[in-house]
Structure 1
């Protein structure tokens, strides 16, 4: 099942990142470029970097100029993340190109790649929540609260994994069909963000 592969790759990306735990440490993708695992690893690495960027920018002691630089990096990272999700959808569009949808086939509320995007973020939540349960400097009630949250996140991952596998199976047999909309983000486009194009006048 694809969710099992994805969860394994996501965990490897998170573990690999935390060997150095440095936002600017170069990624070394261990998977072949022509495989879906390569995209899964890239996707989760981007998410992991961005997670830590979000931590940095929330430091109440941060210099405003430095915070602005981090915000711009987060915007750039988010665009890269979106592009990678769309590459994953392109993979599945090609994979299912020859599947003939049934007459009563339905479209899902989100594409396979955007569901996998949520699974990648969930892997990060699970990793960091588990770290909170292992803290020796935290109060027992904090540990207990985080353990309860971790249990819920683990259950959520099981449910989401099952849903993703069912969606891909339904698409493969024509019960559902893929319909992908590009995100068309406007804030990074100097021709669409009014603040950016107003400055050109």
Structure 2
């Protein structure tokens, strides 16, 4: 199943990141850059770094200048994440390009890659909740509460995987069709963000 491959690669990426556990480390993608495996690993690596950036920026003692740098890093990361989702969807468009939708075919509420994006984030939640559920310096009550949450996250992972597999099956049989809409994020574009183009016109 494709989702089993996703989960395996996401888990590998998360483990690889936590060897050094450093937001500044370079990615070492072990897969050929022409493969979907390469895209999945890169996608989760972006998510994993951003997960830890979000932790750092919430430090109440963080220097404001550093916090602003982090916020801009997160903005760039969000754009990279969106781009990577679109690359993964392009893989599916190519894979299913010869499928002719049936007359009753419907479009799904989200594309396969955006559902896979959620699967990637779930992998991070599971990894870190498992850490909390086994944390030696935490109270027993904390570990038990986190173990219950971990069970819910694992159930979500199974359910989401089932739904993604069903969507891919529907697309492959022509029962559903997909489109890729560019996300067109506006805050990073100097011509679309009024704060940025307002500064330019006021010069």
TM-score by length of 1: 0.99
* Map of 2:181 onto structure 1: 181
1:87-116 C-alpha deviation (Å, 9 max, x unpaired)? 000111111111000000111100000000
* Map of 1:97 onto structure 2: 97
* Map of 1:29 onto structure 2: 29
* 1:17 and 2:2 correspond: no
* 1:61 and 2:61 correspond: yes
RMSD over aligned Cα atoms: 0.6
1:152-201 C-alpha deviation (Å, 9 max, x unpaired)? 00000000011111111110010110122111100000000000111112
Q: 1:62: how far off?
A: 0.5
* Map of 1:145 onto structure 2: 145
Q: 1:75: how far off?
A: 0.3
Worse-superposed segment, 28-37 or 54-63 = 28-37
* 1:70 and 2:70 correspond: yes
* 1:159 and 2:184 correspond: no
Q: 1:64: how far off?
A: 1.0
1:21-69 C-alpha deviation (Å, 9 max, x unpaired)? 0111111111111111110000000000000000000000001111111
Instruction: Work out the CA distance in 2 between the residues paired with 1:93 and 1:19.
Output: 35
Instruction: Work out the CA distance in 2 between the residues paired with 1:176 and 1:37.
Output: 24
Unmatched 5+ residue regions in structure 1? none
Runs of 4+, deviation exceeding 4 Å? none
Instruction: Work out the CA distance in 1 between the residues paired with 2:182 and 2:59.
Output: 33
Instruction: Work out the CA distance in 2 between the residues paired with 1:31 and 1:162.
Output: 26
* 1:113 and 2:109 correspond: no
TM-score by length of 2: 0.98
Instruction: Work out the CA distance in 2 between the residues paired with 1:79 and 1:10.
Output: 19
Instruction: Work out the CA distance in 2 between the residues paired with 1:96 and 1:147.
Output: 40
Q: 1:140: how far off?
A: 1.1
Q: Matched residue of 1:199: which SS?
A: helix
Q: Matched residue of 2:200: which SS?
A: coil
Instruction: Work out the CA distance in 1 between the residues paired with 2:93 and 2:81.
Output: 18
